[in-house]
Amino acid sequence: MLKSAVTNKNESLIAGSVLCVGSEWHRYPSSFFVPDYIGEVRWIDDGFRGLLPFPFNDTLGGTAAAPPYFNNKNKASDEQYVLRDIEACTFLVELQLNRPFPYHGNDLSAWEPIAALPYLDRELSPAKYRSFFIPYLWQEKNVFGMYKLLRRISKPE
């Protein structure tokens, strides 16, 4: 989605771009699936209080060692949010559902949506309609949010 959305908009691909993921860390595929021009995938603090994946660091012993920021209680580590400042993000992946918490992508002065796809809201859709495709009723009875890819708007200098 990322590569086709950016190239379809005829945007210049910025080498070393930073893709930020907030509450979507468990749905968004790993950094193995992002285009080459993305320099890094980083997590932003979006309210999740568990331990998040970290970039691989072979200087800490590779897969044979447990780095100091790991714990056996699945508690968040301050080190997992490498980006404290969302200003460093070039792209943002965000799922916008009908929930009472703020979304970074709602700030249209800072972010522009470059791709958006409907996403079934499991919590608000009835089980029988979300589980089985019933022509005409599936779309009507289910509730959808928007899974968005946003790009930071360059500020005029």
Spatial separation of the C-alpha atoms in residues 95 and 97, rounded to whole Å: 6
> Does residue 134 lie in a domain region?
no
> Does residue 126 lie in a domain region?
no
pLDDT digits (tens, 9 = 90+) for 21-77: 877 777 776 667 788 888 888 877 776 777 777 666 677 777 777 777 777 888 877
pLDDT digits (tens, 9 = 90+) for 75-124: 877 766 665 678 888 999 988 888 887 788 888 888 999 999 999 999 99
> Does residue 45 lie in a domain region?
yes
- Per-residue exposure over 43-79, b if at least 16 CB sit within 10 Å of its own CB, e if not: bbebebeebeeeeeeeeeeeeeeeeeeeeeeeebeee
Instruction: Indicate the residue type of 50.
Output: G
> Does residue 108 lie in a domain region?
yes
Spatial separation of the C-alpha atoms in residues 148 and 113, rounded to whole Å: 7
For 19, the domain range is 2-118+146-152
Tally of domains in the chain? 1
> Does residue 127 lie in a domain region?
no
CB 23 within 8 A of CB 47: yes
> Does residue 72 lie in a domain region?
yes
